Amino acid sequence: MSGPVMIGHLLLEKLARREQIRVPEADLIMQQQDQIAAFAASGRDQGILAYIYLFHAVMALPVIRPGDTVLDLACGPANQLAQMAQLNPDTHFIGVDASPNMLELARGTSANAGLSNVTLQPGDITRLAGFADASVDCAICTMSLHHLPDTAALAATLREIGRVLKPDGGIYLADFGRLRRTATQRFFAYDRQELQSQQFTEDFLNSMRAAFSPAEFRTALAASGRQIDYYATALAPFMMIGRSPARRTLDDSLTQQVQRAYAGLTAGQRRDFNNFTRWFKAGGLELPSPVR
């Protein structure tokens, strides 16, 4: 993810005035086995999303404390959840998803990784039934908000986050932003098509079309009633992050864990991780811990 063609698309995004109309995902809740298998594979070992999961796990570290109960909203196959649970072994994670098939996969991910600090349960993130007011320490949600039907559901989710979080709770939300040109959307969906399944490429393009705009995302962040700072990749909001202020500083042992996880990526994934890090840094968000 880099190069002159990408820079060209980003510059044209910057100049584009008109927003694309949002096209919601056909499958809001992901239940189709071929679709969820393709998505799950993209986040494992050699998968195209593996570096993004490490990136979010590192970016979320400042808002997660040992001893916390962390809610992962719409956890999907739990690739992100597993990465975070490994980096935060003294934190309990609860993954919630509305898809029974996804939860089945997530149970496998958690068992294969030998995680004892993860539980998984069915649930709708727009109505966090079963979670009492001020009962969790942290809420995270990665690459899932674009699966909501509309801005009303997005605002409802953020209100629920505000309700279930303790007063000093942490928040980390990351999702694609809606780009202004269909050509840029297609560029990102097809950029690495040789490394991803056809199914994943189609889903990626659908995600780009279903993404909320930065304005829609920021309006929803305010509905939480919490302080959440907004960041995005420079020049164009390929990805947006909402993160609450830091709740801890990272010690040496955690920094070393991050380095080991980074070393476990392939050379290509490390390159993607570094480029993605530079792209966010140019957009105003730096890694909380040096990674090389």
3-state DSSP of 117-152: CEEEEECECCECCCCCCCCEEEEEEECCHHHCCCHH
Q: CB–CB of 276/1 below 8 Å? A: yes
Site membership for ligand SAM, residue 223 (CB under 6 A): no
| 70 closest CA partner among 147, 151, 171 | 171
3-state DSSP of 47-70: CCCHHHHHHHHHHHHHHCCCCCEE
The region of 22-30, 109-117, 162-170, 255-263 touching ligand SAM under the rule CB under 6 A is: 22-30
User: In the window 116-135, what residues touch ligand SAM (CB under 6 A)?
Assistant: 124-126
What does the per-residue mask of binding to ligand SAM show for 36-65, with x meaning CB under 6 A? Answer: ---x---x----------------------
Q: Using the minimum distance from each CB to ligand SAM, give the nearer residue, 11 or 195.
A: 195
Q: Tell me how far, at minimum, the Cβ of 62 lies from ligand SAM, in Å.
A: 19
The region of 24-32, 158-166, 234-242, 279-287 touching ligand SAM under the rule CB under 6 A is: 24-32
| 273 closest CA partner among 291, 254, 246 | 291
- The β-bridge partners of 200 are none
Running DSSP on this structure, what letter comes out for residue 177?
B
Task: Using the structure block, give the residue that is written with the tokens 């305010």.
Answer: 222
Q: Which residues contact 17 (CB under 8 A, 6 or more apart)?
A: 180
Q: Tell me how far, at minimum, the Cβ of 5 lies from ligand SAM, in Å.
A: 26
Q: Using the minimum distance from each CB to ligand SAM, give the nearer residue, 10 or 175.
A: 175
What does the per-residue mask of binding to ligand SAM show for 193-222, with x meaning CB under 6 A? Answer: ------------------------------
What does the per-residue mask of binding to ligand SAM show for 132-151, with x meaning CB under 6 A? Answer: ----------xxx--x----
- Residues near ligand SAM (CB under 6 A) are 28-30, 39, 43, 74-76, 79-80, 97-99, 102, 124-126, 142-144, 147
